């Protein structure tokens, strides 16, 4: 909410502080999206994935963690730093995530909290890294998300949870003025130098900035995330009581799109739901009453949990046909634009939209 208001009003430097819980059974990344980086015995839970618009190349992300976990019967409880007496990266026929952390070899321990940066399609974009009770890591090029889990080989008998606080500084944002041109600080001559030489010092040339277009839209709580009729064969969705999605045109199908959302909406059963959705109801790929699908049935599993009535996005072509998988937006996300995209469709993760009310304010920033 703070990020969206600041984007609309001015260029103050901001920061995001997020808190997530990582189960001891969580694998650090989705092996299906990263088949060359297989880990464990395929008996763990999905990783915790954090997607945020503030994740930009070069930003230093700080992690702080607390809690306790156990690797199973016979193992004592450990904090986020893991068991510092066990540093191996293979166990029998299984590979531990630490096997891929070459720069931290010998400093990554069994049951330690670890992480990796992901691209928009869930692929690891740089070497995974140990986190433990705390560390600071720079965001690499191509990263859109952070994936978190535990360094282990078998997960089924693990127990416990760690709470992770994540601090993401946000870069200063240049905002367009009423005339459509970016506001830039005026270069001021050095007064002392001018007085000494008798001439004004020349103003420095401002650095060239990538041009972006910003649009603010209102997304009705009854909006389906894509046109149900147009995409009936590809991604069938009943969506009773729904309205058409809100579509934001994309003029340049390249680079990344930034989406920020604020506000609350209501469903028949729950009031004042934020853009993340009803966090007490992770519906993921489950079926609703009547065996109806939620839109999150089609979301990549690495992006779960997907909550009921969460704000979703999906890229579409000029005919309204989808050209990507849907993705959760929550309070904000920054994601790559497919080359075939002509628009971004916005709507909610509901199986039945009847009785939904209210709207969210959504800011969309696209390349121009």
Average confidence (pLDDT) over 173-179: 37
Geometric angle at alpha carbon 65, from 172 and 274, rounded to 5°: 55
Distance CA 279, CA 306 (A): 9
Of the listed ranges 149-163, 192-206, 303-317, 326-340, the least confidently predicted one is 192-206
Distance CA 162, CA 21 (A): 6
**Beta-bridge partners for 83:** 110
Percent of the chain at pLDDT exceeding 90: 57
Average confidence (pLDDT) over 92-107: 83
Residue 203 lies in a domain: no
Q: Which DSSP symbol is given to 100? A: G
163 and 101 within one domain: yes
Average confidence (pLDDT) over 97-108: 85
266 and 129 within one domain: no
The pLDDT of residue 56 is: 87
The pLDDT of residue 249 is: 93
The pLDDT of residue 209 is: 52
Residue 124 lies in a domain: yes
CATH (domain of 105):
2.60.120.430
Distance CA 152, CA 245 (A): 42
Residue 233 lies in a domain: yes
The pLDDT of residue 248 is: 94
62 and 159 within one domain: yes
Q: Is the pLDDT of residue 166 over 50?
A: yes
The pLDDT of residue 227 is: 95
Are residues 96 and 193 in contact, defined by beta-carbon separation less than 8 angstroms?
no
Count other Cβ atoms within 10 Å, centred on residue 367.
17
Q: Is the pLDDT of residue 202 over 80?
A: no
132 and 250 within one domain: no
351 and 245 within one domain: yes
The pLDDT of residue 174 is: 37
360 and 292 within one domain: yes
Whole-model pTM: value is 0.51
Are residues 65 and 71 in contact, defined by beta-carbon separation less than 8 angstroms?
no
Q: pLDDT category, 5, cuts 50, 70, 90?
A: very low
359 and 225 within one domain: yes
Geometric angle at alpha carbon 238, from 45 and 364, rounded to 5°: 70
229 and 166 within one domain: no
pLDDT tens digit string along 46-78? 899 887 777 888 999 999 999 999 998 888 999
Q: What is the mean pLDDT of the chain?
A: 83
Count: domains in the chain: 2
Q: Which DSSP symbol is given to 223? A: B
Residue 297 lies in a domain: yes
328 and 252 within one domain: yes
Distance CA 217, CA 361 (A): 6
The pLDDT of residue 92 is: 61
DSSP codes of every residue in 294-310? PGGGGS-GGG---EET-
224 and 141 within one domain: no
55 and 129 within one domain: yes
Q: Is the pLDDT of residue 221 over 50?
A: yes
Q: Is the pLDDT of residue 329 over 90?
A: yes
Average confidence (pLDDT) over 240-261: 92
Distance CA 263, CA 18 (A): 18
Q: What is Dmax (Cα atoms) for the chain?
A: 83
Q: pLDDT category, 219, cuts 50, 70, 90?
A: very high
Q: Could you list the residue range(s) of the whole structural domain that residue 313 is in?
A: 212-367
Average confidence (pLDDT) over 144-159: 93
Residue 187 lies in a domain: no
Residue 185 lies in a domain: no
357 and 236 within one domain: yes
Distance CA 242, CA 238 (A): 9
Residue 205 lies in a domain: no
| Nearest of 270, 251, 272 to residue 341 by alpha carbon | 251
Domain's final residue, options 120, 140, 170: 170
Residue 193 lies in a domain: no
Are residues 367 and 255 in contact, defined by beta-carbon separation less than 8 angstroms?
yes
Percent of the chain at pLDDT exceeding 70: 84
Q: What are the tokens at 208?
A: 């060239």
The pLDDT of residue 210 is: 59
Q: pLDDT category, 187, cuts 50, 70, 90?
A: very low
Q: Is the pLDDT of residue 300 over 90?
A: no
């Amino acid at each position: 909410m703070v990020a969206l208001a600041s984007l609309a009003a001015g260029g103050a430097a901001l920061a995001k502080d997020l808190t997530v819980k990582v189960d001891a059974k969580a694998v650090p990344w989705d092996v299906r999206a990263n088949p060359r980086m297989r880990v464990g015995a395929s008996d763990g839970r999905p990783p915790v994935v954090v997607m945020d618009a503030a994740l930009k190349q070069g930003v230093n992300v700080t992690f702080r963690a607390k809690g306790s976990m156990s690797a199973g019967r016979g193992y004592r409880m450990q904090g986020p730093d893991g068991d510092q007496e066990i540093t191996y990266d293979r166990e029998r026929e299984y590979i531990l995530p630490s096997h891929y952390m070459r720069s931290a070899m010998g400093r990554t321990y069994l049951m330690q909290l670890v992480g990796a940066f992901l691209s928009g399609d869930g692929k690891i974009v740089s070497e995974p890294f140990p986190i433990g009770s705390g560390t600071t890591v720079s965001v690499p090029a191509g990263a859109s998300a952070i994936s978190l889990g535990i360094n282990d080989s078998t997960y089924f008998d693990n127990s416990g949870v760690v709470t992770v606080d994540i601090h993401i500084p946000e870069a200063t944002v240049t905002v367009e003025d009423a005339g459509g041109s970016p506001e830039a600080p005026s270069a001021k001559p050095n007064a002392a130098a001018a007085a000494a030489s008798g001439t004004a010092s020349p103003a420095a040339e401002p650095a060239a900035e990538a041009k972006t277009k910003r649009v603010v839209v209102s997304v009705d709580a009854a909006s389906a995330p894509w046109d149900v009729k147009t995409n009936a064969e590809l991604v069938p969705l009943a969506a009773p009581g729904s309205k058409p999605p809100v579509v934001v045109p994309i003029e340049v199908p390249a680079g990344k799109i930034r989406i920020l959302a604020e506000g609350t909406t209501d469903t028949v059963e729950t009031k004042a739901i934020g853009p993340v959705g009803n966090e007490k109801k992770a519906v993921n790929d489950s079926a609703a009453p009547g065996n109806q699908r939620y839109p999150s049935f089609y979301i990549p599993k690495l992006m779960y949990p997907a909550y009921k009535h969460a704000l979703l996005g999906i890229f579409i072509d000029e005919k309204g046909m989808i050209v990507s998988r849907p993705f959760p937006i929550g309070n904000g996300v920054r994601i790559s634009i497919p080359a075939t995209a002509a628009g971004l469709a916005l709507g909610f993760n509901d199986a039945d939209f009847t009785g939904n009310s209210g709207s969210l304010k959504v800011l969309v920033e696209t390349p121009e």
